[in-house]
């Protein structure tokens, strides 16, 4: 006889998400993929990396952009609007880099699909990775970056990470406790 399981546990609600690997913004792991060639490491995330299954990504590099590269902003909306064709990404030199940003988002999603990743830990504020980036013309002055928007709309659970913040946040802790992360970390 099948045992009845509680529908209220986090695992049930998230449909097995707790077992998935994580997509992670490479710059948060200390990889120098930022637009200026720099990095923005999260020490807590780096500790987590030693025992977790992580897939580092840099959507801007995956989209074919070089490092270093001019910084860019989303004009005419946010990442969701870029994906629907209503907004563009323009770099500091005035060059339209929309296609590269969209390609990077699609390649990131491809990696998520290939690896079974259903959680993404992305650098907050980036026009690519940010869950709420100010580098856009979103309705409230902030909006999702292009990759964050595509992953979110594709059913990937996205968490915005700032290197200066404590890692993990309480909601993220619920997903990673016992998976290479305990209260003692």
Least Cα distance to 47 among 70, 25, 28 occurs for 28
Q: Which stretch binds ligand SF4 (CB under 6 A): 45-53, 58-66, 83-91, 168-176?
A: 58-66
Residue from 59, 138, 143, 168 in contact with ligand SF4 (CB under 6 A): 59
- Which lies closer to ligand SF4 via its Cβ, residue 58 or residue 158? 58
The reply to whether 49 sits near ligand SF4 by the rule CB under 6 A is no
Residue from 23, 29, 33, 74 in contact with ligand SF4 (CB under 6 A): 33
Q: Shortest gap between Cβ of 4 and ligand SF4 (angstroms)?
A: 42
Other C-beta atoms lying within 10 Å of the C-beta of residue 135: 20
Q: Contacts for 170-179 with beta carbons within 8 Å, 24 or more apart?
A: 172/121, 174/10, 175/10, 175/14, 175/17, 175/18, 175/119, 176/48, 176/52, 179/18, 179/51, 179/52
The reply to whether 63 sits near ligand SF4 by the rule CB under 6 A is no
- Which lies closer to ligand SF4 via its Cβ, residue 101 or residue 181? 101
Contacts with ligand SF4, 11-30, as mask; x by CB under 6 A: --------------xxx---
For ligand SF4, the binding residues in 114-133 under the rule CB under 6 A are 123, 126, 128-129
Find the length of the chain.
185
- Which lies closer to ligand SF4 via its Cβ, residue 68 or residue 76? 68
Residue from 34, 69, 102, 144 in contact with ligand SF4 (CB under 6 A): 34
The reply to whether 160 sits near ligand SF4 by the rule CB under 6 A is no
Per CB under 6 A, residues contacting ligand SF4 are: 25-27, 33-34, 58-60, 123, 126, 128-129
């Amino acid at each position: 006889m099948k045992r009845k399981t509680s529908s209220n546990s986090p695992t049930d609600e998230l449909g097995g998400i707790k077992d998935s690997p994580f997509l992670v913004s490479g710059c948060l792991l200390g990889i120098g993929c930022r637009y200026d060639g720099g990095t923005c490491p999260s020490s807590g995330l780096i500790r987590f990396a030693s025992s977790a299954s992580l897939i580092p990504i840099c959507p801007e590099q995956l989209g074919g952009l070089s490092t270093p590269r001019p910084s860019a902003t989303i004009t005419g909306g946010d990442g969701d609007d870029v994906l629907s064709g209503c907004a563009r990404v323009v770099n500091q030199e005035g060059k339209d880099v929309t296609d590269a940003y969209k390609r990077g988002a699609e390649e990131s999603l491809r990696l998520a699909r290939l690896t079974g990743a259903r959680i993404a830990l992305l650098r907050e504020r980036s026009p690519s990775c940010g869950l709420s980036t100010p580098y856009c013309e979103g309705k409230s002055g902030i909006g999702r970056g292009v990759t964050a928007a595509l992953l979110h709309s594709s059913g990937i659970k996205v968490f915005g990470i700032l290197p200066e913040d404590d890692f993990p946040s309480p909601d993220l802790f619920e997903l990673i406790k016992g998976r290479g992360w305990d209260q003692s970390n």
